[in-house]
Structure formats: C-alpha cells, structure tokens
C-alpha cells in the first residue's frame, strides 16, 4: 500500500482535487423531519472542517441536514468546484421519488450539481412511490442531465448491487454504481457476506461509516483497544487515527465526524505512516474474533427445556434441573440467557443467576412478551406489568433485552386490545424508564420491522429495534424473504434459535450435507453441532442453543477457536437449501 491510496485518483472534485476522507452530518447532527430550525452548531462544524482541509461532505435526506450544508457553503469563501458533496435518497421516507429529492437538494445546497448521489438502502416496500429499478433509472437520468456527477448506493449487498448493475448495462459502464457506503470497522469487516471483496473486484469504491465504532461502542477491556495502545506509541498517532488508516489500507474511504476541531484535524493527519501487514492481519484477527454484531456470547435458551411449555418438542424438566443446568452454563462461560413469557422459566433463570454469584453487569438477560400464549389464550397483563413481574422473577433491577415474541396478532388476541404500534410505543416508554436496556423483536419480517422502525423514528435511533430473534439454521437461511440481509444492513442483530435443526434433517436423508459436516468434523476436530453453531456466527448470526447434557453445553461454548472458510460456508448454504425445513411459523410469511 502507498500512503496515498490509488482509489483517490478516480474520485476528484470538479476542479480536479482528490477527495479527502469524508466528514459526516448524520449521527450526532441528524434532526427530525418536522424540525425546521437550522442547527447553527452544525453550520459552524461544517465550516470548521472545510477550513481544516476537508473537501468531502456527506449528508442524506433522512439526516435532514441539507440546509445546514447550504448555509455553511454560502458563508465560506471557497469555490464550489473544490468541494465534494454526497447525499442519499431514503426509500419510503416521504412520497417523493429520487428526482424530486435531487431537485430539492440542489436548492438547499444552492448549487447546480451534486457530486455523488446514493440510494440509502435497497429495501423498497410495495407501497413505495418507486421500485428499486425505477429509482435507479431516475439516478441514471439525473446523471445524464448533469444534476449529479456520480451515482451509487449505501448498505447494498452483492445481490442488490448485481440487480442495479444489470439495469445499468444498457446505458453503459459510466452508469454503473461507483460507490457503496456501508458500515465498516475491524469488528464488522463485511456488512453483508463477501461485500468488500465483491465491491473491490467490480471497481466499486467502498465508503465506510462508523469506522471508529470499536472505540465508542466497546469498553476499554476489549482486546482491540489493548492492541492499539502500543501502536499509538510506535506511530505517535491516536487509536482513531490508526483505525482510519486501517480503512485506507483496506482500500476503503472512511467517513468520520467529531464536534472537536482537534480530533477532526487529527483525522486528516493519517497519510505519513503505514501499518505493517502483520499489524493489519492482527487487527483483522481480533475483529473477527470479537464481532460488534455479537455483543454477547452464544445464548443458552430456556424454551425447549421448559417446565410447563406444552409442546411435543419440549424436554420435560423439573424446576431444580433447569436451575442446575443454567448455573452450570454460567459457570463455563455462557453470559447470555434467553427466556420468554410463554416459556414460564423466568423464576428458574432468576434463581440460577442469583446462585451463580456472577455480577449483574457480566450477564445478559433477554425475555419476550407475547399477547397470547401457545394455547392462544389471551394475555391479561400489559407489557409494562409483564416487565414488573419479570424484574422480580429474574431478581434484577433491569432487563437487558425485551422483545415482542412475534408480530402475528390482532386487537382481539389480547384483552388489552394491542396493535403492533401501540405495543411498540409501550416498549419505547419502558426503555425510557430504564427498566430495559434494549428493545427488539422476534420472528419479524421486513415489512413488520419497517413498520416499527417508522414508529421509532420520531423518538431517535436509540429506540429502534436492536435485535430480531428468528429461526435460523443451514436448512432455513431466511425465516422470511431477505430478512437476514435486511437486519444486518440496518444494524439489527440477528439471533438464531433452533440452530441445530439440520442434525435432525440429516436423519431424513440429506446425504450430502451429512457428508460435508463429517468432513468438517474431521478437519476442525469439532462435532457437527459445533460446526453448525460456528456456521451461524460466521454468517453474522448469534445462535441460541440448549441441551439437557452438560457435555453438549460445554461443546456449544467451545466454538471460538476456529472459523469456517468462505467456500465451506457456501457449501453448507448450498446443501442446506436443498432441505428447507421450518419448525416454527411455517406458512406465516
């Protein structure tokens, strides 16, 4: 690698200057769409960064910060042709198509052209004013008209990139997507499977948002921060500078921001050194072993080893047996216990947690609220009342994660007459109260998730769903169409229950999958169950597993010392897809 990455050469301002790393106007600065007040602090921030030497400003329709960019540019004595302005169209945010958003942005920026215009994400719902194809064609037309110089996308997987590339073919290569802006950092080296390699091979520049996420989202105990400390001294650079340099040496252009001028100045001071190949490899290794989307270890479920759940698949166990099982699991390293109202195991979870002696902040407790139980009996309590009773049963002051168990209910399913909207609003209020740390869902499809994301928008991103727990395994790689990709692109952690289902399918004749797992068993000296759990992790899914046998629980936690290769994952994908099997909610989507 050179200190001036070659990919800069093809992205220049209209006057011919190479673009700098980007300064973002989202994250901290984003304001609601009904807030018309100009954020003067952001105006000064933009002016300050340009004076420092940045020439690349990144904004978006959904950030609602176009006007601040326009005001800052008007007040600065700088040529428009020396700047690079990027913005994005957000499908479904308003009833306006991309062409109208482009015209509006031109007025707000007070400019005749936009340097780079992106589609913010690929998830177009049937009721959107345009489809993905129609939106991309409008971007092509805008480029032809000279309103935008380059067109691209954000948060696209290779599947969606292939779709729009195919659309572009009849217009010529100059109308292919030139950029894919995704979340990228050591703890998330591929937002979707193989996306970095795909973009590099297809001459698509990757821009990285949240490049410093490992520093702000993870405590000082994390091994990456420990590894960076001696590198700070070696290069006389901050950890932030090291991570930005890490992006550049991966041929990825970072987008960063800070309200502190000194930090922004440091962000530009990353071209006078290079990390060694060994250092890059070690950062990669640490990141892969500690993925940000896996904030806790593999989870132990309490659904199929329940005391009262009336199910043909349930393992009957006494209360004391469940407590003993969970206490053992905690003692060998499980710090993530998953339960639910319908499992009726919360008292056992609370007792095991208490008897284990583990500090409360060292364990992650999740539960789920449902408006009716497995016998379709209506719940007689509200979500708020459920949380209060759960806190007592779990013997804690807070719940780490509260989920809606499924989206399939009508008002008459509950004596409280819940709708999806009213229930999610109650979840938001519960989170505001501090009684739960995170809110999420289970068994939700894209349309269901899109609904609650829209409900959450007025309250801010901290009230967006952080988890979608779904059935996931090699023989069911998407519980509902495209759900895993949607969640990963929207920073929603996927938890996978029933991850070992393929073991039962092997008994039904999937010879090729059976042989493949046997070969992997031999190669990695792991059981088939361990291979399947590792498969989940390598797909970016946190598995929720369980067993009545201590030896199997021990095996379940022993999956962090190896990693499946990409072609092995692809083979499991292929063979598993030949035996699609859905245990729960079949036919619901």
pLDDT tens digits along 459-475 = 988 889 999 999 999 98
Strands of 1-71, DSSP E: 22-24, 56-58
pLDDT at 56 over 80: yes
- In the numeric block, which tokens belong to residue 172? 């010529």
Structural tokens at position 32: 């609601």
CA–CA dist 257, 30 (Å, integer): 12
CB 252 within 8 A of CB 208: yes
Q: Are 196 and 189 in contact (CB under 8 A)?
A: yes
Domain 6-217+252-259 has CATH 3.40.630.30: no
Q: What is the pLDDT of residues 68-86, one digit of tens each?
A: 999 999 999 899 999 999 9
User: Does pLDDT of 380 surpass 90?
Assistant: no
Question: What residues does each domain of the chain span?
Answer: 6-217+252-259, 299-465
- Is 227 exposed, middle or buried, given 0-12, 13-18 or 19+ CB atoms closer than 10 A? middle
Give the rounded percent of residues in the chain with a pLDDT score beyond 70: 87
Q: Who has greater pLDDT, 207 or 321?
A: 207
With a CB cutoff of 8 Å and minimum separation 6, the contacts of 406 are 370, 442, 443, 444, 585
Q: How many CB atoms lie within 10 A of CB 507?
A: 8
- pLDDT reported for residue 188: 84
pLDDT per residue over 171-200, tens digit each?
A: 999 999 999 999 899 988 988 778 999 999
pLDDT of residue 315: 53
Q: Tell me which residue has tokens 């990455």.
A: 5
Spatial separation of the C-alpha atoms in residues 331 and 328, rounded to whole Å: 5
Confidence of residue 318 (pLDDT cuts 50, 70, 90): confident
Catalytic residues: 63, 120
For residue 134, what pLDDT is reported?
96
Average of per-residue pLDDT across 208-218: 77
Q: What is the pLDDT of residues 128-145, one digit of tens each?
A: 789 999 999 999 999 999
Same fold, 6-217+252-259 and 299-465: yes
Residue 374 has pLDDT above 90, yes or no: no
Kindly state the helix (H) or strand (E) to which residue 229 belongs, with its residue range.
helix 223-235
pLDDT at site 3: 40
Specify the CATH number for 299-465; select among 3.40.718.10, 3.30.559.10, 3.20.20.100, 3.90.1150.10: 3.20.20.100
Whether pLDDT at 322 is above 70: yes
Task: Give the β-pairing of 399-404 and 364-369.
Answer: parallel
Considering only residues 146 and 36, tell me which one the structure prediction assigns the higher pLDDT.
146
Taking all residues of the chain, what is their mean pLDDT, rounded to a whole number?
A: 86
The more confidently predicted of residues 306 and 276 is: 276
pLDDT of 219 reads 43
Residues found in the chain:
589
- With vertex at residue 489, the alpha carbon angle to CA 483 and CA 490, rounded to the nearest 5 degrees, is 85
Could you tell me the pTM of the whole model?
0.66
238 — phi, psi (to 5°)? Answer: -80, 165
- Taking a C-beta distance cutoff of 8 angstroms, is the pair 503, 530 a contact? no
Q: Which two tokens stand for residue 330?
A: 């905690």
pLDDT bucket at 425, cuts 50 / 70 / 90 = very high
Identify the residue with better confidence: 403 or 358: 403
Which range has highest mean pLDDT (4-18, 91-105, 502-516)? 91-105
Query: Which one, of 391, 316, 401, lies nearest residue 350 by Cα?
Result: 391
442 falls in which pLDDT band (50, 70, 90)?
A: very high
Query: Is pLDDT larger for residue 20 or for residue 511?
Result: 20
Terminal CA-to-CA distance of the chain, rounded, Å?
48
pLDDT score for 55:
95
- The CA distance from 493 to 503, in Å, is 25
Closest CA to 118 of 63, 191, 48, 39: 63
The pLDDT value given to residue 183: 87
Contact 394, 369 (CB under 8 A): no
Which is nearest to 324 in space by CA: 356, 347, 346? Answer: 356
Cβ-based burial of 272 (10 A; exposed 0-12, middle 13-18, buried ≥19)? exposed
CA distance 423 to 407: 10
What is the pairing mode between strands 541-545 and 299-301?
parallel
Q: Tokens standing for 97?
A: 């198509």
Q: Where are the alpha helices (H) located in 290-334, listed in sequence order?
A: 319-331
Total H helices, total E strands in the chain: 22, 16
Span 296-304, average pLDDT: 72
Question: What pLDDT is stored for residue 509 in this prediction?
Answer: 59
């Amino acid at each position: 690698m050179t200190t001036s990455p070659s990919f800069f050469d093809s992205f220049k301002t209209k006057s011919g200057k190479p673009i700098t790393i980007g300064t973002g106007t989202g994250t901290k600065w984003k304001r609601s769409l009904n807030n018309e007040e100009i954020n003067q602090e952001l105006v000064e921030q933009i002016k300050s960064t340009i004076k420092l030497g940045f020439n690349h400003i990144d904004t978006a329709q959904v950030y609602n910060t176009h006007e601040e960019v326009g005001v800052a540019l008007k007040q600065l004595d700088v040529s428009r042709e020396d700047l690079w302005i990027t913005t994005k169209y957000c499908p479904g945010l308003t009833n306006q198509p991309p062409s109208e958003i482009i015209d509006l942005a031109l007025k707000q920026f007070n400019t005749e052209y936009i340097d780079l215009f992106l589609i913010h994400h690929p998830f177009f719902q049937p009721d959107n004013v345009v489809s993905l194809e129609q939106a991309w064609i409008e971007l092509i037309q805008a480029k032809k008209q000279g309103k935008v110089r380059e067109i691209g996308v954000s948060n696209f997987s290779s599947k969606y990139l292939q779709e729009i590339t195919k659309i572009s073919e009849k217009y010529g290569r100059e109308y292919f997507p030139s950029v894919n802006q995704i979340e990228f950092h050591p703890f998330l080296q591929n937002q979707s499977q193989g996306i970095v390699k795909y973009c590099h091979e297809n001459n698509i520049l990757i821009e990285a948002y949240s490049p410093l996420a490992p520093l702000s989202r993870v405590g000082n105990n994390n091994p990456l921060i420990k590894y960076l400390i001696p590198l700070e001294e070696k290069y006389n650079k901050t950890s932030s500078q090291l991570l930005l340099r890490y992006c550049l040496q991966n041929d990825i252009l970072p987008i960063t921001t800070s309200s502190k001028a000194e930090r922004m100045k440091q962000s530009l001071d990353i071209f006078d050194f290079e990390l060694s190949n060994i250092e890059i490899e070690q950062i990669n290794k640490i990141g892969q072993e500690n993925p940000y989307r896996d904030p806790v270890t593999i989870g132990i479920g309490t659904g199929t080893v329940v005391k009262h759940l009336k199910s043909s698949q349930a393992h009957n166990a006494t209360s004391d047996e469940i407590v003993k099982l969970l206490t053992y699991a905690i003692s060998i390293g499980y710090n993530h216990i998953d339960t639910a109202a319908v499992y009726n195991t919360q008292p056992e979870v609370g007792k095991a947690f208490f008897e284990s002696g583990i500090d409360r902040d060292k364990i992650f407790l999740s539960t789920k609220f449902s408006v009716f139980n497995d016998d379709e009996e209506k719940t007689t309590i509200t979500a708020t009342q459920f949380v209060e009773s759960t806190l007592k049963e779990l013997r804690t002051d807070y719940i780490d994660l509260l989920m809606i168990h499924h989206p399939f209910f009508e008002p008459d399913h509950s004596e409280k007459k819940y709708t999806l909207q009213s229930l999610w609003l109650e979840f938001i209020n519960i989170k505001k109260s501090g009684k739960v740390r995170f809110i999420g869902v289970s068994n939700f499809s894209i349309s269901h998730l899109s609904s609650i994301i829209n409900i959450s928008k007025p309250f801010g991103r901290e009230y967006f769903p952080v988890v979608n727990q779904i059935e996931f395994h090699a023989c069911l790689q998407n519980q509902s169409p495209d759900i895993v990709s949607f969640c990963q692109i929207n920073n929603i952690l996927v938890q996978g229950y029933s991850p070992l289902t393929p073991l039962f399918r092997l008994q039904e004749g999937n010879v090729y999958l059976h042989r493949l797992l046997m070969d992997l068993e031999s190669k990695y000296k792991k059981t088939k169950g361990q291979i399947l759990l590792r498969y989940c992790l390598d797909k970016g899914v946190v598995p929720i597993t369980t067993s009545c046998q201590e030896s199997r629980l021990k095996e379940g936690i022993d999956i962090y010392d190896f990693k499946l290769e990409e072609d092995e994952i692809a083979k499991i994908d292929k063979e598993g897809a030949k035996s699609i099997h859905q245990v729960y909610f079949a036919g619901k989507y």
